[in-house]
């Protein structure tokens, strides 16, 4: 039971590569079984005072260590390669997720490692009967060096290929799974696993001890030998495959073989590895490795790993504290013990652990991890899932190299760094994890849609407001700025006239003033006696009228732009499906556009008049008046055009008050009319300046 659960967890963890959230979810779903199953976790160990309980954890430790060890190897081949890969991947979003998953695994493994260090020495001596077998193991190890080497190479290649720690871990686990099964026969947790002799367990314990007590190099070596055994199995299997319940059963068949392998080849290998590195180099079978300087490689890997480990632990501690996860606390407390153990290992690793422990000082005070288990349930499914995973991992590994573990930690740490990018303290992600009421996907999507709808509506209203606002549209069509520019020219002309007048003697002054007043009179639209209502003009199109009026300006300008706008309006309204609201919007926009273009034409007219060589004030003023009248009356036409469309419109427009709409159109048409008039008034000084 428990095993399968935990297997699922791993499964989910693997899936998690696609997304941290998902992982959490899946884990949360399978929390409680584990506690019942009493896996070989710390909790279990504490709960069950019998030896078996202790053994189980140990075996798990071994397994975990194995996978890291392989990692460390990969790191060793090109020293620190794993780290480099991780760095390179940092920028890739997809891989971030993967790392996220890896990180969790790493964290767990790290914790296990601490535990292992803590327990293996003491527990094995106290509880485990296999202690006496360790010598045997060692002797066996010596004999299998050659075999292990070739397999190791294969493994390393594989590891290289997969930059992701999770994959590597999975692959290794496959290899070791059988071992685990073999070694943890009597344990309640691993019910479905076939029973294997105590010898295996003892072997593993032996290895573990070796790992703890020997130099980093030796550990690496032992780890290799362990992992090599199942090289065939390792090949293409993944995390998922390994931990599937089915997979477990299948494993049974292989278990015996594996055991054999373990005894025949493993022990020798371990022994050999445990002996000095120099021996390995001198050995002809290791020839390929000789040049490598295995020890240095290993050291390098270990060092890089441990330095990273520090960071990882920081990130993890933050995460743990913030989430309020009890399990991590428990685990952390073991760190203290681990410290003592670590010292015997190697200095680098020791430093790393010290830092970890120092970072979690409060956690040390807690003695009994079991106390936290209940609280962890309170925390939620997530934690229980984590615990399950933890237990499984712990139970599975027995032979691991410390350096390899550190490599995993490095990856985990890197992952944390990536995770924390743009999310200091992991606040967002923590919120996702810790929120028990976390909305499901459909809810999120629904909310997103609602939000989008609201935004769209607001945008629509805003656009609508803009659309029906004459002044805004007038500005958008550059009418305002043209009016402003025209005003600038007009003012300059006025100033020029005034300056000119100031410099005239009285006679000239009075004469010129008379001329200027005359021009002003000419430009008085109200007093204009030109009758544009005669039949001849009535039948002319806008285009014809404007063309005729422009002739007398004496400049190269046409007002065809305005004719185009007018034609556009008419063609637009031929659409039978227009609602009145749409017609209304078009009316305002049309008025604004027509007015803006009118002002623009006036502005251009002014500019061209000002650079005109020979001015003819009378013709110009007359022409401008005609144009102004045409444009002004066109505003009425435009208003009528839209109003009649709205009047006759049969398309229902809900919530649209026709009267307000019509009134607004009329109002804006008047507004447009006054803009035209104002623009024309600005033209007068420009005409006047021509008489100077």
Partner 1 sequence: MVEPIFDYQFRLILIGDSTVGKSSLLKYFTDGKFAELSDPTVGVDFFARLIEVKDGTRIKLQLWDTAGQERFRSITKSYYRNSVGALLVYDVCNRASFEHIPRWMMEARRHIEPHRPVFCLVGCKLDLVANGGRREVSKEEARAFADQYGVHHVETSAKTGLNVEEAFRTVTQEVYNRIQNGEYKVEDGWDGIKTGFARPGGLDFNLVEAEPAKSSCC
Residues lying near partner 1 in the complex (CB under 8 A) are found at 461-462, 464-466, 468-469, 471-472, 474-478, 480-482, 484-485, 488-489, 492, 581, 584-585, 603-604, 607-608, 610-611, 655-657, 660-661, 664
Instruction: Report the candidate in 144, 148, 134 with the shortest Cα–Cα distance to residue 203.
Output: 134
Distance CA 528, CA 483 (A): 24
Instruction: Report the candidate in 410, 411, 431 with the shortest Cα–Cα distance to residue 322.
Output: 431
Choice between 46 and 656, CB closer to partner 1 = 656
Choice between 289 and 474, CB closer to partner 1 = 474
In whole angstroms, the minimum distance from the beta carbon of 73 to partner 1 comes to 48
In whole angstroms, the minimum distance from the beta carbon of 91 to partner 1 comes to 23
Choice between 516 and 585, CB closer to partner 1 = 585
- Give CA separation, 494 vs 502, 536, 606, 625, 692, in Å: 12, 37, 13, 20, 12
In whole angstroms, the minimum distance from the beta carbon of 492 to partner 1 comes to 5
Choice between 318 and 555, CB closer to partner 1 = 555
Which secondary structure element, helix H or strand E, spans residue 589, and what is its range?
helix 580-610
Choice between 364 and 476, CB closer to partner 1 = 476
Three-state secondary structure readout of 35-47:
HHHCCCCHHHHHH
Contact yes or no for 470/671 (Cβ under 8 A)? yes
Choice between 137 and 682, CB closer to partner 1 = 682
| Beta carbons within 8 Å of 179's beta carbon, 6+ residues apart | 62, 63, 200, 204, 226, 229, 230, 258, 259, 262, 398, 399
In whole angstroms, the minimum distance from the beta carbon of 488 to partner 1 comes to 5
In whole angstroms, the minimum distance from the beta carbon of 674 to partner 1 comes to 12
Distance CA 509, CA 496 (A): 14
Choice between 423 and 484, CB closer to partner 1 = 484
| Beta carbons within 8 Å of 125's beta carbon, 6+ residues apart | 131
Distance CA 68, CA 301 (A): 11
DSSP string, 258-307: HHHHIIIIIHHHHHHHHS-HHHHHHSGGGHHHHTT-HHHHHHHHHHHHHH
Choice between 283 and 472, CB closer to partner 1 = 472
Choice between 447 and 461, CB closer to partner 1 = 461
In whole angstroms, the minimum distance from the beta carbon of 611 to partner 1 comes to 5
In whole angstroms, the minimum distance from the beta carbon of 618 to partner 1 comes to 23
Contact yes or no for 305/409 (Cβ under 8 A)? yes
Phi and psi angles of residue 368, each rounded to the nearest 5 degrees, phi first = -105, 110
Place of tokens 């035209």: 676
In whole angstroms, the minimum distance from the beta carbon of 466 to partner 1 comes to 6
Query: How many C-beta atoms lie closer than 10 Å to residue 615's C-beta?
Result: 18
SS3 call for 248: helix
In whole angstroms, the minimum distance from the beta carbon of 603 to partner 1 comes to 7
Choice between 114 and 645, CB closer to partner 1 = 645
In whole angstroms, the minimum distance from the beta carbon of 389 to partner 1 comes to 44
């Amino acid at each position: 039971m428990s095993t399968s659960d935990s297997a699922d967890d791993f499964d989910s963890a693997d899936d998690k590569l696609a997304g941290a959230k998902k992982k959490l979810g899946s884990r949360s779903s399978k929390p409680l079984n584990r506690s019942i199953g009493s896996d070989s976790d710390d909790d279990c160990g504490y709960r069950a005072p019998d030896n078996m309980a202790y053994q189980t954890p140990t075996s798990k430790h071994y397994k975990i260590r194995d996978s890291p060890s392989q990692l460390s190897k990969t790191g060793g081949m090109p020293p620190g390669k794993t780290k480099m890969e991780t760095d390179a991947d940092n920028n890739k979003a997809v891989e971030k997720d993967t790392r996220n998953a890896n990180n969790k695994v790493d964290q767990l493994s790290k914790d296990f490692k601490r535990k292992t260090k803590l327990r293996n020495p003491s527990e094995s001596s106290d509880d485990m009967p296999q202690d006496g077998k360790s010598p045997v193991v060692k002797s066996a190890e010596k004999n299998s060096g050659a075999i292990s080497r070739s397999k190791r190479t294969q493994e390393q290649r594989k590891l290289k290929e997969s930059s992701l720690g999770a994959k590597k871990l999975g692959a290794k686990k496959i290899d070791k799974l059988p071992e685990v099964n073999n070694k943890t026969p009597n344990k309640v947790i691993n019910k479905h696993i076939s029973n294997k002799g105590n010898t295996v367990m003892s072997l593993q314990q032996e290895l573990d001890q070796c790992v703890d007590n020997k130099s980093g190099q030796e550990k690496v070596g032992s780890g290799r030998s362990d992992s090599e055994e199942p090289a065939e199995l390792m090949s293409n299997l993944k995390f998922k495959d390994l931990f599937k319940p089915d997979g477990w059963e299948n494993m049974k068949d292989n278990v015996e073989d594996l055991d054999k392998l373990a005894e025949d080849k493993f022990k020798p290998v371990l022994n050999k590895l445990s002996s000095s590195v120099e021996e390995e180099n001198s050995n002809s079978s290791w020839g390929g490795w000789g040049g490598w300087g295995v020890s240095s490689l290993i050291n390098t890997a270990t060092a890089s790993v441990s330095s990273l480990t520090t960071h990882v632990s920081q990130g993890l501690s933050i995460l743990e504290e913030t989430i309020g996860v009890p399990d991590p606390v428990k685990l952390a407390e073991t760190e203290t013990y681990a410290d003592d153990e670590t010292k015997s290992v190697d200095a680098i690793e020791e430093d790393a652990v010290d830092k970890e422990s120092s970072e979690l000082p409060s956690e040390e005070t807690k003695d009994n991890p079991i106390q936290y288990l209940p609280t962890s349930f309170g925390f939620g499914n997530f934690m229980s899932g984590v615990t399950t995973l933890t237990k499984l991992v712990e139970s599975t590994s027995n032979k691991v190299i410390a350096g390899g573990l550190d490599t995993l930690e490095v990856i985990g740490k890197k992952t944390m760094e990536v995770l924390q990018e743009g999310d200091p303290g992991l606040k967002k992600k923590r919120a996702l994890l810790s929120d028990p009421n976390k909305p499901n996907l459909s809810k999120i999507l629904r909310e997103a849609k609602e939000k989008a709808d609201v935004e769209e509506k607001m945008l629509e209203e805003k656009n609508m407001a803009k659309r029906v606002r004459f002044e805004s549209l007038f500005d958008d069509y550059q009418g305002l700025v043209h009016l402003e520019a025209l005003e600038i020219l007009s003012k300059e002309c006025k100033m020029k006239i005034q300056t000119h007048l100031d410099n005239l003697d009285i006679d000239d002054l009075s004469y010129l003033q008379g001329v200027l007043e005359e021009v002003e009179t000419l430009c008085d639209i109200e007093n204009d006696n030109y009758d544009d209502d005669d039949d001849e003009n009535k039948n002319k199109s806008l285009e014809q009228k404007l063309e005729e009026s422009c002739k007398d300006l004496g400049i190269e300008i046409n007002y065809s732009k305005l004719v185009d706008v007018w034609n556009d309006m008419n063609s637009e309204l031929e659409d039978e499906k227009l609602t009145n609201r749409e017609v209304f919007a078009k009316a305002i926009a049309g008025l604004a556009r027509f007015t803006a273009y009118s002002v623009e034409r006036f502005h251009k007219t002014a500019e061209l008049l000002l650079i005109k060589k020979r001015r003819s004030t009378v013709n110009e003023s007359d022409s401008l008046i005609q144009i102004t009248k045409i444009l002004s009356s066109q505003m009425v036409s435009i208003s009528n055009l839209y109003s009649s469309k709205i009047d006759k419109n049969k398309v229902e427009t809900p919530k649209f008050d026709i009267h307000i709409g019509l009134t607004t159109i009329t109002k804006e048409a008047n507004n447009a009319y006054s803009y035209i008039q104002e623009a024309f008034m600005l033209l007068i000084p420009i005409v006047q300046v021509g008489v100077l």
